Structure 1
Amino acid sequence: MDRLQNIETFVRVAQTQSFAEAARQLRVAKSVVTTRIKQLEDYLGGPLFHRSTRVVRLSELGQAFLRDCTELVGRANDIVDQMRDVRGKPAGTLRVHALTGFVLGHFGALLREFQARYPEIRLELIVGDNVVDPVQAGVDCALQIFPAASSELISRPLFAVRRVFCATPQYLAQHPEPQDPRDLHHHQLGLYSGYPTRDRWTFYKDGGELTTYLSAALLTNSVHLLREYALEHAGIVCLPTLVAAEAIRTGALQMVLPQYQLSSFWLSAVYAGTSRNAFKLKLFIEDVTAAFGRVPPWDAALVAAGLLPETLVEA
Structure 2
Amino acid sequence: MDRLQNIETFVRVAQTQSFAEAARQLRVAKSVVTTRIKQLEDYLGGPLFHRSTRVVRLSELGQAFLRDCTELVGRANDIVDQMRDVRGRPAGTLRVHALTGFVLGHFGALLRDFQARYPDIRLELMVSDAVVDPVQAGVDCALQIFPAASTELISRPLFPVRRVFCATPQYLAAHPEPQDPRDLHHHKLGLYSGYPTRDRWTFHRDGGELTTYLAAALLTNSVHLLREYALEHAGIVCLPTLVAGDEIRDGRLKVVLPAYQLSSFWLSAVYAGTSRNAFKLKLFMEHITDAFAKVPPWDGALIEKGVLPKELVEA
Shorter-normalised TM-score: what interval?
over 0.9
TM-score, normalisation: structure 1: 0.98
CA distance in 2, matches of 1:151, 1:62: 20
Tell me which residue corresponds to 1:42: 42
Amino acid aligned to 2:265: F
Mean CA deviation greater in 38-47 or 223-232:
38-47
Once the two structures are TM-superposed, the CA of residue 127 in structure 1 deviates from its matched residue by: 1.0
Tell me which residue corresponds to 2:119: 119
Tell me which residue corresponds to 1:91: 91
Aligned residue for 1:111, secondary structure, equals helix
CA distance in 1, matches of 2:170, 2:149: 42
CA distance in 2, matches of 1:294, 1:128: 24
CA distance in 1, matches of 2:130, 2:79: 32
Once the two structures are TM-superposed, the CA of residue 207 in structure 1 deviates from its matched residue by: 1.5
Aligned residue for 2:264, secondary structure, equals strand
Tell me which residue corresponds to 2:289: 289
Tell me which residue corresponds to 2:79: 79
Matched, 1:133 2:133: yes
Once the two structures are TM-superposed, the CA of residue 215 in structure 1 deviates from its matched residue by: 0.3
For residues 225-268 of structure 1, the C-alpha deviation after alignment (integer angstroms, 9 at most, x for no partner) is: 10011111111000000001100001111111111110001111
CA distance in 1, matches of 2:41, 2:92: 29
Matched, 1:215 2:212: no
For residues 34-92 of structure 1, the C-alpha deviation after alignment (integer angstroms, 9 at most, x for no partner) is: 11111111111111100111100000111111111111111110111111111111111
CA distance in 2, matches of 1:306, 1:274: 44
Amino acid aligned to 2:260: Y
CA distance in 1, matches of 2:299, 2:250: 14
Aligned residue for 1:314, secondary structure, equals coil
Aligned residue for 2:28, secondary structure, equals coil
> Structure 2, unaligned stretches of length 5 or more?
none
CA distance in 1, matches of 2:116, 2:162: 31
For residues 246-296 of structure 1, the C-alpha deviation after alignment (integer angstroms, 9 at most, x for no partner) is: 000011111111111100011111111111111101111110010000000
Once the two structures are TM-superposed, the CA of residue 133 in structure 1 deviates from its matched residue by: 1.7
CA distance in 2, matches of 1:301, 1:131: 30
Tell me which residue corresponds to 2:298: 298
Amino acid aligned to 1:18: S
Tell me which residue corresponds to 2:310: 310
CA distance in 2, matches of 1:273, 1:200: 33
Matched, 1:233 2:233: yes
CA distance in 2, matches of 1:204, 1:76: 48
Mean CA deviation greater in 100-109 or 36-45:
36-45
Tell me which residue corresponds to 1:30: 30
Once the two structures are TM-superposed, the CA of residue 99 in structure 1 deviates from its matched residue by: 1.0
Tell me which residue corresponds to 1:147: 147
Tell me which residue corresponds to 1:175: 175
CA distance in 2, matches of 1:48, 1:277: 25
Once the two structures are TM-superposed, the CA of residue 153 in structure 1 deviates from its matched residue by: 1.5
Amino acid aligned to 1:221: N
Amino acid aligned to 1:190: G
CA distance in 1, matches of 2:249, 2:17: 48
Amino acid aligned to 1:149: A
Aligned residue for 1:179, secondary structure, equals coil
Amino acid aligned to 2:285: I
Amino acid aligned to 2:223: V
Once the two structures are TM-superposed, the CA of residue 94 in structure 1 deviates from its matched residue by: 0.5
Tell me which residue corresponds to 2:66: 66
For residues 136-167 of structure 1, the C-alpha deviation after alignment (integer angstroms, 9 at most, x for no partner) is: 21111111111111122211111111000001
Tell me which residue corresponds to 2:163: 163
Tell me which residue corresponds to 1:206: 206
> Structure 1, unaligned stretches of length 5 or more?
none
Once the two structures are TM-superposed, the CA of residue 178 in structure 1 deviates from its matched residue by: 0.8
- Name the Cα RMSD after superposition: 0.8
